[in-house]
């Protein structure tokens, strides 16, 4: 597993990342997501109703892209896999929602399932074109 350099750790506290997954047709599908960096781990909460969740359940390969919004010549790209596990009690969803001041339960419909998705990078690209 590749590690995130200290030069780009600040990006792990940004508010939005782009998540690219692979659809059933083999084409990429990209979504803006909220995420949380806890310890050494980047994770998010996903609803079973969303295409990105369906894609990851079928194929865990993904890319998480975080742009430095104050210097768009800097970014962090995490390529790897997402490991999904049920978050039926909203334990992680509650922590993620607290970061954004939002209750994720309000997004889910009856029958939806909430998943904790942990990103496990195998390649980290930390880029700073302004350096």
Rounded distance between C-alpha atoms, residue 40 and residue 99, angstroms: 17
pLDDT tens digits, one per residue of 35-66:
999 888 999 999 999 999 999 999 999 999 99
Q: Where are the domains of the chain?
A: 6-126
Rounded distance between C-alpha atoms, residue 57 and residue 83, angstroms: 9
What's the pLDDT at 39?
80
pLDDT tens digits, one per residue of 102-124:
999 999 999 999 999 999 999 99
Task: Round the average pLDDT of the chain to a whole number and report it.
Answer: 96
Distance of CA 48 to the CA centre of its chain: 15
What's the pLDDT at 44?
98
- Enter the tokens of residue 45: 């909460």
- 101 pLDDT band, cuts 50/70/90, is very high
Question: What are the E-state strand segments in 1-131?
Answer: 17-22, 28-33, 36-38, 41-47, 61-67, 74-86, 114-128
Q: 96 with 102: CB under 8 angstroms?
A: no
pTM metric for this prediction: 0.94
What's the pLDDT at 100?
96
Q: 69 with 14: CB under 8 angstroms?
A: yes
Rounded distance between C-alpha atoms, residue 87 and residue 95, angstroms: 12
By percentage, how much of the chain surpasses pLDDT 70? 99
Query: Residue 86, CB half-sphere, CA atoms under 13 Å: how many?
Result: 4
Alpha helical stretches, state H, 38-89: 51-58
Q: Is the pLDDT of residue 1 over 70?
A: no
Mean pLDDT within 74-93: 97
Looking at the structure, give the CATH architecture of the domain made up of residues 6-126: Roll (2.30)
Q: Is the pLDDT of residue 81 over 90?
A: yes
In DSSP terms, 46 is beta-bridged to 115
């Amino acid at each position: 597993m590749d590690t995130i350099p200290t030069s780009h750790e600040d990006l792990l506290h940004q508010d939005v990342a782009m998540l690219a997954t692979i659809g059933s047709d083999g084409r990429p599908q990209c979504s803006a997501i909220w995420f949380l960096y806890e310890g050494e781990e980047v994770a998010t909460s996903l609803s079973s109703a969303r295409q990105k969740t369906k894609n990851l359940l079928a194929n865990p390969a993904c890319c998480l892209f975080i742009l430095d919004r104050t210097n768009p010549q800097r970014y962090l790209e995490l390529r790897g896999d997402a490991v999904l596990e049920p978050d039926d009690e909203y334990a992680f969803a509650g922590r993620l929602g607290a970061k954004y001041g939002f209750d994720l339960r309000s997004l889910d419909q009856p029958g939806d399932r909430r998943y904790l998705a942990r990103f496990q990078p195998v390649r980290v690209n930390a880029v700073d074109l302004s350096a």
